[in-house]
Amino acid sequence: MGIFLFNLIAFFTVACAVGVVVNRNTVNAALCLMLCLMGVAGVFVMLDAYLLAALLVLVYAGAVVALFLFIIMLLDAQGGTRAPFRMATAVASGISLALMLVGVAALLARGTFAAEPLEAAVGPPVGSVLKEYAQLLFTTYLLPVQVIGFLLLIAMLGVIVLSKRFEGMEDIR
Amino acid sequence: MTPGLESYIGLSALLFAIGFFGVLLRKNTLVIYMCLELMLIASTVALVAFSRFNGTLDGGVFVFFILTVAAAEVAVGLAIIVALFRLRQTVEVDKLNHLRN
C-alpha cells in the first residue's frame, strides 16, 4: 500500500515537473509548479514530516507561486507564438539530463543505499511534533535563525531599493 | 511495506535533473526561475528523507532554512526581473545579450 501510494505521488510529481519545463504558456508552467509542490508535500507526509508539508504548501504553493503569477501578469510574459527553445539547446540540455540520470542510476544500482537494512533503522516519527522543531530551532540552531532573520531584512531592503525609482540619482545605475 | 530510502533519493534526483534540464533549455527568465525553485525543492526531498531514515530532526530544520532562503531569493530575483524588464522590455534571455558587443 505504501509503495503504491509512493509510486502514485512520485509519478504525479514528476509529471508536473516535466509540465513546468515543456509548457509553452508561462501561466500554465506556474500552475504545474504548484501541482508539483503539492506532490512534494505529499511525499513529505509519507515521510512523517507533517509540519514541513504544511509549511511547503503555505510558503511555496501559496506565496511563491502567487508571486510568480503576479509577475507574469504584470510583465505580460505569457510566451506568445515564439518557440520556447532552440533545437541546439534542446539537444545539449538533453545530453546533460541523460548524463545526470545515468550518474544517479549508477549510484542507486551499485547498492550503496540498499546494503544496509534501512527499514529496520527507522525509528518512531520524530518530525511530526512542532515542539521538537522549536526545541532545535531555539537551542542548537539559534544562530542560523538569527542570520536567516537578518537575511530576510536585507532582502526586503534590497527589493525596495531595486523597485524604487530614484530621481536625480541616475549615476548609480 | 514502505518505500526505502533509495526510492526517495531517486525521486529527488529525478526532480533535480528535470529542473536542471529546464534551466538549460528554456529562454524565458521566469520559467528558468521556476526550474531553479524545482531544484531547491528536490534537494529538500533528499534532506527530509535522510532525516527520517536516520531518526533525527536536523534535516527538517535545514529544510526550514532552505524555505526561508528560497522565499527571500524569489522576492529579490523577481524584483531584478521586473527592473530588467523596465530597462529592456523583454525577459527572454537570448535577447539580453548586451555584454556580447
The pLDDT-based confidence of A82 (bands split at 50, 70, 90) is low
Chain A residues within 8 A of B26 when measuring between CB atoms: 21, 84-85
Contact in structure between A80 and B87 (CB atoms under 8 Å): no
CB of B56 closer than 8 Å to CB of B75: no
B44-85 pLDDT tens trace: 999 999 888 887 888 889 999 999 999 999 999 999 998 888
Q: Give the mean pLDDT of A62-88.
A: 81
| CA trace torsion A14, A19, A22, A28 (10° rounding) | -160
User: Where does the pLDDT of residue B16 fall: very low under 50, low under 70, confident under 90, or very high at 90 and above?
Assistant: very high
**Phi, psi values for residue B23, rounded to 5°:** -60, -40
Report the pLDDT value the prediction gives residue A79, as an integer from 0 to 100.
67
Return d(Cα B84, Cα B91) in angstroms, integer: 7
- What's the rounded Cα separation, in Å, for the pair A39 and A8? 9
Q: Do B74 and A68 touch (CB under 8 A)?
A: yes
Question: Residue B3: which of A6, A29, A100 has the nearest Cβ?
Answer: A6
Question: What's this model's pTM, rounded to 2 decimal places?
Answer: 0.87
Contacting B residues, span 11-30, partner chain A, CB-CB under 8 Å: 11, 13-22, 24-28, 30
pLDDT range class, residue A115, cuts 50, 70, 90: very low
State whether the Cα torsion A12-A14-A19-A20 is positive or negative. positive
**Residues B5-34: what's their mean pLDDT?**
90
Q: A32 or A61, which is more confident?
A: A32
Q: Which one is predicted more confidently, A132 or B35?
A: B35
Taking an 8 Å cut-off on Cβ atoms, the answer to whether A152 and B72 are in contact is yes
Q: How far B23 CA lies from chain A's nearest CA (Å)?
A: 8
Q: Which residue has the higher pLDDT, B6 or A81?
A: B6
Of A96, A97, A155, the CB nearest to B75: A155
Contacts of B98 in chain A (CB under 8 A): none
- Residue A120's pLDDT band, with cuts at 50, 70 and 90, is very low
**pLDDT at A106 exceeding the cut of 60:** yes
CB-CB: which of A89, A132, A136 is closest to B24? Answer: A89
- R_g of chain B computed on alpha carbons: 17
Instruction: Give yes or no for residue B18 having a pLDDT over 50.
Output: yes
